[in-house]
Structure 1
């Protein structure tokens, strides 16, 4: 393999350079969901090579864990020089023990980028060819079979990353254009040479938090889009209700010191700009009333009135999760650390995934609360006794004969309930393993996968609620009174699902909305720039 070209910023806008710059969630999003590629600069190549050459000399007369010793509880066993390659290969093959379902293509690529980022920092002692091959696999979307089950998140995500290493040495299976194929066969077609570990490349590939970090990055991307869709959907609900505007005012929310609440209120004000459906309290209630019982509702239900207070903590948690994942993405999670500049090797536990594990638990809880909010908003729309302006179940057909959105509510309710069941924290579910060498672990990959399940579930709940809200707009005939952005939302959904009054197969209406939410960036409507805490320091 030849050395990579020098980094040329002006000609490399579509390249995410690994090793030199701080990686952000936006960078991963451009690679995984856009057209950007990853690259290794000449400077990074030189650093990797310098670290590799240092370790080769440094380890000749010293005991270095995982170079000339066994692994885990078998570290006291010194390995003969002629068995070092066999040691590394044994580590890879023996730890390819994953089971369960394969993780998604997006999760796998994110895992690969996270591992490449850690290795490219130059503290793992790998030969740079390992980083180059991994770069090629990412760019051509040749993804190893990575299974959900197996990682403890201390000593890193050993099992998941072993399956990555297995493909690098030309064994195991990969996905190529959605097809399951032997890695050796794909490598032959692409004229790639399978690699063999020189000193500790196997351990360097396995030891780290890259699975949970990659999964966590996907969670942040999906959760951020989910929150934006939820804000749009909530703004539409506000218009359906004909809400008073002071709930979202700067005057009300500005006296609360939480940044998330103020941001949530500001976003709602922006989304509702130009709406003809909002009411000014002074026009309706801040005047004399002779009747003892008012016709107007003085205050709306909490799922409408308290949106900034509920969405605020969710936004703050999302920002915190993004910061944690980005910090881990830019960290070296290997053991030991090969510091060629200071000519030393440090043994420790940077592979421990507690930061990501706790962060994913917090994100999971926040998104579950979001699903509860969405479900309550849905219930408000469906219950004519609550909203007092829509037919039961937003039924546009004949009451009694037709059922409207009644059947879809069951899916939303049961899925929200599943989210509540998934909210038990994983961070505290440590179980000792590895002959008690790993006596307290993070379960970070499990935490990230469960958070992903909660996020996916919440998209399903939101799809039902959004379709219901769109039907409600048609019942009330308020399309022309909507704000420009919520009108775009209405038109976008209606381009997928026409208004219906007669009962049909319900999933043929809800699934297209779910597909829309999953595969469309809400910024096509909002036009807002994504904000990263790390970029706002």
Structure 2
């Protein structure tokens, strides 16, 4: 089913369909009218020989340089080539798909002056599975994500490189492989393609989608740990959470009660102990706070992915072209820094539960969940790996948005570093997913020493799913494979079962 974009109503559910199920997109007919009107405004301004930033002038500090009419197209081609200076590992194809989708949606708003042919080619590239090779580093997150988006735009010109069905091709070969022709950019078009926040927002969207799924899995695996450690269920009593009144905390407590319903392994206060350690007792408070952050991030991303973020903007109703600063990524930079803090905390508390599972002084279970302690080390080093990942997250969680380095001869004297914040959030997500997978593996093994039949129905089902990918530990083996298999399953299960 085709998704029609109008620049105003793109949803996470639609994004997921495009990213994970290769749903095709088209521009809504009403949006085409605005796009064509916007382009007509640009053409009129050129004919009148007016001074318009980025159309008849240079860029950044060079905005005082006037460009003759016969060179305005060359200016746009030069812009793309000169700004394609990204470095580092390329962004994933999933993120690049999100970049194209978000850029198309922004251009569909009709404030950018793009030509119909150029925008249609961008749509065709996404539908045909042409994914430009976009280096991940080099954006300051103000004046837009210039370097990453320039690499994306290169392919429209038949330059740069693109991935097509796993094969790395030149931009021209990629277009020809799919029966498409490159375009020559006209006035304003280069700027319309690269002046925006679609790289950081794309990374943010992909990170948010996976983080939201990971939060759901983390709660479920925490319930396994809770049973394996005979947790005190009273801590999830609804009365406790109602009197604090955070909706997310109340929701997590309700989820935990549902996951644990029917369990014969949980206890009540006073049975074995009066209360549990914080990593068990405070699951609703901590995981609930993480959900609060996810809700904040979702709200900011939903605004950004339906916004016009380039410069200058064309207001055709008044025949005006106005320079501003919508390309500044500060809202997304803050959101990504907040997200990586929350994801780091998701891993922090999971690692503390892992420690409780493998530490015999805390668990009452065999040391390191080994069937032959001493001769075998069991899951001793699983906790080490979780601790290493958690420690790395703490470094990555340092806010990128508090930094700013002036650029363009101090014309662009304050930048957001939003792309850096987004990239770090994505890495924290990957680290945290592995920590959560390690907790799942350890919790499943701990339940081997309990009576599985005494688990709640939900836990039995979850245990069986884990066992499809990770067998019980009957003797020391290479556990790296187990962690990677379960991590890969979590990513696959996210795609199939995501709640948006």
Give the alignment's TM-score, normalised by structure 2.
0.97
Counterpart CA distance in 1 for 2:79 and 2:460 is: 57
Quick check: 1:350 aligned with 2:326? Answer: yes
Separation in structure 2 between the aligned mates of residue 298 and residue 523 of structure 1, nearest angstrom: 40
More divergent stretch after superposition (298-307 vs 249-258): 249-258
Three-state SS of the structure 2 residue aligned to 1:180 is strand
Q: CA RMSD in A?
A: 1.5
C-alpha separation between the residues in 2 aligned to 1:36 and 1:190?
A: 17
The one of 123, 126, 142 aligned to 1:138: 126
Matches within 5 A, 1:261-276: 261-276=249-264
Q: Confirm or deny that 1:54 pairs with 2:28.
A: no
Structure 1 residue 476 corresponds to structure 2 residue 445? no
Paired position in structure 2 for 1:308: 284
Match runs of 1:101-500 below 5 Å: 101-281=89-269, 285=270, 296-388=272-364, 390-396=365-371, 398-477=372-451, 479-500=452-473
Matched residue, 2:65 = 77
Unmatched 5+ stretches in structure 2: none
What is the alpha-carbon distance in structure 2 between the residues aligned to residue 444 and residue 301 of structure 1? 37
Q: Distance in 2 between matches of 1:362 and 1:151?
A: 19
1:519 CA displacement: 1.6
Partner-residue secondary structure (3-state), 2:54: coil
Q: 1:69 to 1:35 in 2, by over 3 A?
A: closer
Check whether the contact 2:58–2:66 (CA below 8 A) recurs between aligned residues: yes
The answer as to whether partners of 2:95 and 2:202 remain within 8 angstroms in 1 is: yes
Query: How far is 1:104 from its partner?
Result: 0.8
The 2-side partners of 1:253 and 1:433 are apart by: 49
Residue 515 of structure 1 and its aligned partner are, at CA, apart by: 1.0
How far did 1:208 drift?
0.3
For the Cα contact (< 8 Å) 1:114–1:329, is it kept in 2?
yes
C-alpha distance in 2 between matches for 1:157 and 1:368: 25
Secondary structure (helix, strand or coil) at the match of 2:318 reads: coil
Check whether the contact 1:228–1:522 (CA below 8 A) recurs between aligned residues. Answer: no
SS in 2 for 1:82: helix
> 1:530: which partner in 2?
499
Distance 2:127 2:205 in 1: 18
Structure 1 residue ranges without an equivalent (≥5): 1-13, 286-294, 532-537
The number of aligned residues is 499
- Contact 2:22–2:127 at 8 Å: present in 1 too? no
Offset at residue 514 of structure 1 (A): 1.2
In structure 1, distance between residues paired with 2:402 and 2:7: 35
What is the DSSP-based 3-state SS (H/G/I as helix, E as strand, rest coil) of the residue aligned with 2:56?
Answer: coil
1:49-107 CA distances to partner (integer Å, 9 max, x unpaired)? Answer: 12111221133321111111111111111101111111001000001111111111111
* Contact 2:233/2:266, CA 8 A, preserved across alignment: yes
**Normalization by structure 1: what TM-score?**
0.90
Are 2:479 and 1:506 aligned?
Answer: yes
Please say if residues 210 and 494 of structure 2, whose CA atoms lie closer than 8 Å, have aligned partners that are also in contact: no
Counterparts of 2:255 and 2:46, CA distance in 1: 57
- Alpha-carbon deviations, 1:509-535, whole Å to 9, x = none? 2221111112212875xxxx835xxxx
Please identify, of 450-459 and 495-504, the stretch whose mean Cα deviation from structure 2 is larger.
495-504
Question: In the alignment, is the contact (CA less than 8 A) between 1:375 and 1:412 conserved in 2?
Answer: yes
Deviation at 1:259, TM superposition (A): 1.9
SS at match of 1:39: strand
1:29 aligns with 2:16: yes
| Residue 91 (1) aligns with residue 72 (2) | no
* Secondary structure of the structure 1 residue equivalent to 2:401: coil
1:391-416 CA-to-partner distances (Å, cap 9, x unmatched) read 011112x1211111112222111111
